[in-house]
Structure 1
Amino acid sequence: MYFHRTKFEVESASFRVDMGAIMLTCEQIERYHRRGYLLLPDWFDNQEVDTLRAELPSLLNHDSPGRTTEADKKSVRIFYGVHQISPLFDALTRHPRMLPLAMSLLGEQVYVHQSKLNMKSGFQGSGFEWHQDFAFWHGRDGMPKPNVVNFIVFLDDVDIFNAPIYLLPGSHERGLAPSQGKELMPHDHVKELVAELGIEAATGPRGTLLVFGGLIAHASPPNISPFNRALALVTYNAVSNVLTAGTDASHAHLAEREIVALASHQDDDILRRPAPPYRSRMEEFRIAMKA
């Protein structure tokens, strides 16, 4: 099965989003469609990130079917459905620097297909093999087309040491990879793509926004550093891209079945609330060492 997208598919005579309101240049939009991802440093400031981070301790202890742990049975690996539990993270999905951009890239109104926290604790965070997200959503949830986009907010500084996401630029143009019925990509196919396209690491300071679609090949290594790496992910799906099978209502944390187009918050300061002050990664590390 082969799915292919070009930048022209997101244009619609009946749907427009003010590009000025989302602060992207035409060059950035073209780069996204050509390379399959976009990295936007300083999309959120330290105060906004600290507001989100302040929610993590209580949220990660919440008893939810969407909460999974690492091999130590203590460190949280992934927490699915975070916007369904936290009003703050629900506000993030509707943020005026998030939602209008998602609508612009997909060319229509959107809803949240999935949200999650990806927590790679120092020394504990396990890796993710090479895959395309759409392979899971198409096979498991019955998502017809890859008219979907991931927005990932860095809640920690991410560098080459604490398990950044690896991406194969331009791999989204090759369609859905052969998988012999499995969602993970065959290593031989990954080798061919890397030989032709190269491999890049998505790094940046906390507050960076990483945007990529459902077909780009990506992975991440284990976190063998002592530094935590927390990411907040929102997956927007086009309202016309209705799921046809797969998960039921008992798994709503994995795939939202109720299609309700989102309306953007008008307040750009929605995340600027009192929160513990910003500390550098080394400061946080030293404090944890003393605890």
Structure 2
Amino acid sequence: MQAQDDLLQSAKAEYNESGWFRLPSRFEEVGIKKLRESVESISRQKRPEVVHETDGKTVRALHGCHLFDETCARLVRLPMLVGLAEALIGEPVYVYQFKVNLKQPHEGAAWPWHQDFAFWKNEDGMTAPSAVNIALFLDDTHEANGPLQVLPGSHRLGLIESDSDEQRERSGDWRNHVASDLEYTVPQAEVDALTRKTPKQLAVGPAGTIYAFHPSIVHSSSDNRSADRRALLLITYNAVSNAPASSPRPEFLVSRDTSRVTPVEDDVL
């Protein structure tokens, strides 16, 4: 118990300073296998939660899987993940978003530099970035297959806006929030200035690796240039006290159930 408390204290300190944190332990292989099976099954289904690349055929992302898939529903209630989220945020949490971003071999397109909180604030009315993204690698992730890349410490700058933000009208189409041409991005000039101060870092590692990162950290990912798929599962936990009053976006993007997550009995899928 003391070791777990020390780990959470260390995680919180690094998270507050850098805006992200890698857990020293990995998720168990049996659970990763079950999650991969769920991803493969859902990817074959025709439903709005399954988003494709611009070719209309290649699966880019899956959303809200915890609402209809038994394995994913249990995953978001594992004590290790709920405990980590509540330690980092400092409050009871609920599941705000669930998604799996897929970079198919040689086809997975990049995600431009952005901050997640820009979408949650502007589209959903979230008041504060009192949330956390928990990222779980379903595949081995390396520099060539489009890993997450972050600018450490950028979360402390708040939202970064381009000169045209005030004049731009929001499209109101949720598809512009999940496509490669994102609606809210960080200007390249800002990214260049930030990287001169703090070079970008890559989130790489074997399947089962777990990271946590802040809603306001500036991040992106590159195209998948390799023959290896890159599947990244992301659970966003939000503070119950920070739940938006309402959102025009679909429930599979923004959960309507804002009640505190009740953990299951153990960390086994």
Same fold (TM over 0.5): yes
Determine if the alignment matches structure 1 residue 36 to structure 2 residue 19. Answer: yes
**Which residue number in structure 1 is paired with residue 238 of structure 2?**
237
AA matched with 1:130: W
AA matched with 2:102: M
Alignment CA distance shift 1:19-1:126 (3 Å): farther
**Which residue number in structure 1 is paired with residue 132 of structure 2?**
149
2:155 aligned counterpart, secondary structure: helix
User: How many angstroms apart in 2 are the aligned matches of 1:36 and 1:184?
Assistant: 18
What residue ranges of structure 2 are gaps of 5+ in the alignment? 166-182
Equivalent pair of 2:8/2:87 in contact (CA under 8 Å): no
What residue ranges of structure 1 are gaps of 5+ in the alignment? 1-17, 272-291
**Which residue number in structure 1 is paired with residue 189 of structure 2?**
188
AA matched with 2:260: A
Higher relative contact order (CA 8 A, sep 6+): 2
**Which residue number in structure 2 is paired with residue 265 of structure 1?**
264
AA matched with 2:240: V
Alignment CA distance shift 1:93-1:203 (3 Å): same
Shift of 1:27: 3.0
Q: Could you state the TM-score of these two structures normalised by the residue count of structure 2? A: 0.88
Equivalent pair of 1:243/1:257 in contact (CA under 8 Å): no
**Which residue number in structure 1 is paired with residue 216 of structure 2?**
215
Equivalent pair of 1:42/1:206 in contact (CA under 8 Å): no
How many residue pairs get aligned? The number is 251
2:259 aligned counterpart, secondary structure: coil
Equivalent pair of 1:40/1:208 in contact (CA under 8 Å): yes
Equivalent pair of 2:146/2:224 in contact (CA under 8 Å): yes
User: How many angstroms apart in 1 are the aligned matches of 2:45 and 2:55?
Assistant: 18
**Which residue number in structure 2 is paired with residue 202 of structure 1?**
203
Shift of 1:41: 5.0
User: How many angstroms apart in 1 are the aligned matches of 2:83 and 2:127?
Assistant: 23
Deviations 1:194-222 (A, max 9, x none): 11121100101100001001000000011
Alignment CA distance shift 1:120-1:22 (3 Å): farther
Q: How does 1:245-256 map to 2 (within 5 A)?
A: 245-248=246-249, 251-256=250-255
Alignment CA distance shift 1:40-1:21 (3 Å): closer
Determine if the alignment matches structure 1 residue 125 to structure 2 residue 93. Answer: no
User: How many angstroms apart in 2 are the aligned matches of 1:72 and 1:241?
Assistant: 37
User: How many angstroms apart in 2 are the aligned matches of 1:135 and 1:178?
Assistant: 9
Shift of 1:21: 4.5
Equivalent pair of 2:42/2:50 in contact (CA under 8 Å): no
State the Cα RMSD in Å: 1.7
Determine if the alignment matches structure 1 residue 101 to structure 2 residue 84. Answer: yes
AA matched with 2:266: D
